[in-house]
């Protein structure tokens, strides 16, 4: 390590240190000062000055095989642990490859940072054909991410990194792109490394908290709708549900915020008809950290006619899709602590108590638990009907997975019809799924990111045979981890959802059915174990064995779809 290099790992919040270093050194030192200890990415000609210094600052590097995989892995890392995920890519096509992941992270409010070189500071306005030249790289990425920040001097780099982290950590989490001109990466200059200030959790206005508490104190049939914005407020959500005796329904991203075997938990599946019936009978609805978006609801807005208390960090989101009677704009944990205190002034804030509330619920009102059980039965019936084709597979996974398992799913029928509403989750951020943007190829690299974040927790990927092909090369990345990671690929011979939509429209069935490769053999070729399962009854044992293996195991599940026999171009 150069004597002039900052020992950024020792930098504390508010502390500043000045040294002379290259732009690449400054990037890495600033990342380390913000607590980054792992990055996903691919080296290229223009970013080598960044890669040169990663080891000096204790930043582990994980090498996906495609920049889209790097972005999804950073997403899975951030989504599962709450810390920003970092991807380092090169310029031009590499950055553009990562934009799908940035779009997914933006849609689902996930803090990831993509770091890349950019064109030189004095590059000709109309270009000159330099390698990876892109007409306007920053503008392209800024149209997808929260921001694209371009640092044009070595001295500016630590400030730009601090700004990126401020955007990711303030308000609604969003992804950011940081661009350093390739000539600036190689230049030397005096820089001051600082971590920047950490903002306190935003508190909702006291008058709004009081109005919410007054409304809730008189509620007879309250209902809680919980989304991904409540991931880090699980103790508060549970305490409010128990205080009110309210059944809790979650969105996909809110899955597991309340353990799904809690007496008041109805689980995920906010789009189901039984949930619409539940909220239609409610006298107060509390919506916490959810957009109530069409991608969550599927079948149109919920028929809510009662007053709504809405908790959201985003002042725009709090009035989008449904205007509440009481809007609480603030951090979910802090805001719910304040509401609970208003309901019970002698209560200690849960943010001051240990976070572990995984023990069985005590003191839940028996009548409230009975009512929730009735609604849970209705909701489970709807979910089972909707996911009937996938219940054996989901049941096998439920049997095999430990309580603390993390499942990363792709946009596959077995996930959105099967697992979302039928596979129980017991912890927040234990079900990772690309909701709003709906990308394909997410599940495998996201599982890799989650496994990097949680090497001691069981992690499994659940994919379809169509979607996995978007990022199938990441099986090599998974194998390189040298840790158990079951990759379950459910093969229904192509794009089953789109095939069904064609059939429903009475269109010719075209370009949606194709034979899958031998995924088990492909896994073995890429360094994994590989098995083929032809009956769901064998899946649980295969997953258990994979969780005890010494590396990734590809589990190819053959799932016959009669519609896959329709000839290309034919109508059913």
If asked whether residues 211 and 289 sit together in one domain, one would say yes
pLDDT on residue 15: 59
Q: Of 324, 350, 374, which residue is a domain's last?
A: 374
The candidate with the shortest Cα–Cα distance to 194, out of 169, 167, 218, 161, is 161
How far apart CA 547 and CA 529 sit, in angstroms, is 12
| Residue at token pair 């899709």 | 321
- 3 state SS of 5: coil
Residue range(s) defining the domain that contains residue 75: 8-194
If asked whether residues 172 and 291 sit together in one domain, one would say no
2 lies in some domain: no
Q: Please write the tens of the pLDDT for every residue from 256-287.
A: 999 999 999 999 999 999 999 999 999 999 99
220 lies in some domain: yes
Q: How confident is the model at residue 354 (pLDDT cuts 50, 70, 90)?
A: very low
If asked whether residues 109 and 156 sit together in one domain, one would say yes
User: In the chain, what is the greatest distance between 2 CA atoms, to the nearest angstrom?
Assistant: 74
380 lies in some domain: no
Strands 16-22 and 188-194: antiparallel
- Pick the residue with more confidence: 365 or 509? 509
Helix (H) or strand (E) holding 489: strand 485-491
| Cβ-proximal residues to 55 (8 Å cutoff; 6+ apart), any chain | none
139 lies in some domain: yes
Mean of pLDDT values over 247-263: 98
201 lies in some domain: no
Q: How confident is the model at residue 567 (pLDDT cuts 50, 70, 90)?
A: confident
Mean of pLDDT values over 513-517: 90
Q: Please write the tens of the pLDDT for every residue from 454-512.
A: 999 999 999 999 999 999 999 999 999 999 999 999 999 999 999 999 999 999 999 99
How far apart CA 263 and CA 274 sit, in angstroms, is 17
Mean pLDDT of the chain: 92
* CATH code (residue 515): 3.40.50.970
- Pick the residue with more confidence: 8 or 536? 536
Q: Please write the tens of the pLDDT for every residue from 147-159.
A: 999 999 999 999 9
124 lies in some domain: yes
Terminal-to-terminal C-alpha distance of the chain: 67
Structural domain tally of the chain? 3
Residue 5 has pLDDT above 50, yes or no: no
Neighbouring C-alpha atoms within 13 Å toward the C-beta of 504? 6
Percent of the chain residues topping a pLDDT of 70? 94
The three-state DSSP-derived secondary structure of 417-444 is HHHHHHCCCCCCCCEECCCCCCCCCCHH
| Cβ-proximal residues to 471 (8 Å cutoff; 6+ apart), any chain | 66, 68, 69, 72, 441, 442, 444, 445
How far apart CA 288 and CA 204 sit, in angstroms, is 13
How far apart CA 397 and CA 403 sit, in angstroms, is 11
Q: Count of CB atoms within 10 A of residue 223's CB? A: 29
Q: How confident is the model at residue 423 (pLDDT cuts 50, 70, 90)?
A: very high
| Cβ-proximal residues to 220 (8 Å cutoff; 6+ apart), any chain | 283
81 lies in some domain: yes
If asked whether residues 364 and 404 sit together in one domain, one would say no
If asked whether residues 39 and 74 sit together in one domain, one would say yes
Structure tokens at 388: 């009937």
Structure tokens at 431: 């079900």
If asked whether residues 184 and 216 sit together in one domain, one would say no
If asked whether residues 338 and 219 sit together in one domain, one would say yes
If asked whether residues 71 and 115 sit together in one domain, one would say yes
Mean of pLDDT values over 11-22: 70
How far apart CA 459 and CA 447 sit, in angstroms, is 7
Q: Are 265 and 259 in contact (CB under 8 A)?
A: yes
**If you average pLDDT over each of 121-125, 185-189, 192-196, which comes out highest?**
185-189
Sign (positive or negative) of CA dihedral 32, 36, 38, 43: negative
Q: Of 324, 339, 374, which residue is a domain's last?
A: 374
* CATH code (residue 230): 3.40.50.1220
If asked whether residues 316 and 406 sit together in one domain, one would say no
If asked whether residues 57 and 167 sit together in one domain, one would say yes
Q: Of 173, 194, 215, which residue is a domain's last?
A: 194
- 3 state SS of 363: coil
The candidate with the shortest Cα–Cα distance to 118, out of 184, 68, 162, is 184
379 lies in some domain: no
If asked whether residues 72 and 140 sit together in one domain, one would say yes
If asked whether residues 247 and 361 sit together in one domain, one would say yes
Structure tokens at 46: 């223009």
- 3 state SS of 97: helix
Query: pTM of the full predicted structure?
Result: 0.93
């Amino acid at each position: 390590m150069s004597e002039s290099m900052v020992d950024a790992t020792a930098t504390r919040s508010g502390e500043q240190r000045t040294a002379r270093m290259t732009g690449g050194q400054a990037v890495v030192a600033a990342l380390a000062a913000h607590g980054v200890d792992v990055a996903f990415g691919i080296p290229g000609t223009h970013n080598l000055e960044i890669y040169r210094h990663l080891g000096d600052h204790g930043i582990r590097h994980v090498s996906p095989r495609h920049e889209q995989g790097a972005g999804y892995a950073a997403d899975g890392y951030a989504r599962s642990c709450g810390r920003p995920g970092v991807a380092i890519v090169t310029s031009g096509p590499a950055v553009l490859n990562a934009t799908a992941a940035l779009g997914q992270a933006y849609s689902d409010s996930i803090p990831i940072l993509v770091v890349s070189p950019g064109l030189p500071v004095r590059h000709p306005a109309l270009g000159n054909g330099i390698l990876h030249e892109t007409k306007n790289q920053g503008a392209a990425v800024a149209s997808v991410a929260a921001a694209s920040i371009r640092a044009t001097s070595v001295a500016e780099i630590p400030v730009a990194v601090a700004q990126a982290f401020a955007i990711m950590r303030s308000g609604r989490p969003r992804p950011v792109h940081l661009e350093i001109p390739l000539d600036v990466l190689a230049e030397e200059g005096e820089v001051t490394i600082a971590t920047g200030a950490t903002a306190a959790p935003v508190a909702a206005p006291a008058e709004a908290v009081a109005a919410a508490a007054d409304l809730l104190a008189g509620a007879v049939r309250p209902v809680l709708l919980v989304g991904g914005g409540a991931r880090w407020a699980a103790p508060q959500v549970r305490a409010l549900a128990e205080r009110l005796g309210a059944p809790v329904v979650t969105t996909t991203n809110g899955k597991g915020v309340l353990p799904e075997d809690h007496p008041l938990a109805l689980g995920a599946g906010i789009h189901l008809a039984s949930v619409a019936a539940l909220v239609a009978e409610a006298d107060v609805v509390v919506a916490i950290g959810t957009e109530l978006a069409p991608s969550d609801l599927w079948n149109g807005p919920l028929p809510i006619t009662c007053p709504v208390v809405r908790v959201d960090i985003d002042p725009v989101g709090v009035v989008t899709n449904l205007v509440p009677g009481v809007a609480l704009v603030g951090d979910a944990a802090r805001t719910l602590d304040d509401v609970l205190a208003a309901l019970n002034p002698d209560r200690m804030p849960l943010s001051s108590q240990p976070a572990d509330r995984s023990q069985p619920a005590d003191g839940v009102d028996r009548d409230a638990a009975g009512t929730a059980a009735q609604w849970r039965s209705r909701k489970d019936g709807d979910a089972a009907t909707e996911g009937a084709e996938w219940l054996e597979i989901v049941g096998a996974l439920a049997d095999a997975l430990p309580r603390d398992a993390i499942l990363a799913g792709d946009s596959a029928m077995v996930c959105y019809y099967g697992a979302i509403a039928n596979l129980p989750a017991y912890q927040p951020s234990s079900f990772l799924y690309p909701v709003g943007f709906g990308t394909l190829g997410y599940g495998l690299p996201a599982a890799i990111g989650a496994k990097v974040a949680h090497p001691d927790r069981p992690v499994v990927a659940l994919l379809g045979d169509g979607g996995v092909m978007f990022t199938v090369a990441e099986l090599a990345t998974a194998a390189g981890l040298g840790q158990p990671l079951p990759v379950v690929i459910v093969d229904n011979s192509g794009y089953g959802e789109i095939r069904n939509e064609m059939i429903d429209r009475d269109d010719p069935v075209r370009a949606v059915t194709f034979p899958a490769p031998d995924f088990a053999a492909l896994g073995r070729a890429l360094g994994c174990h590989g098995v083929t399962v032809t009956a769901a009854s064998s899946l649980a044992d295969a997953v258990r064995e994979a969780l005890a293996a010494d590396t990734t195991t590809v589990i190819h599940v053959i799932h016959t779809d009669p519609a896959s026999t329709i000839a290309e171009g034919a109508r059913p």
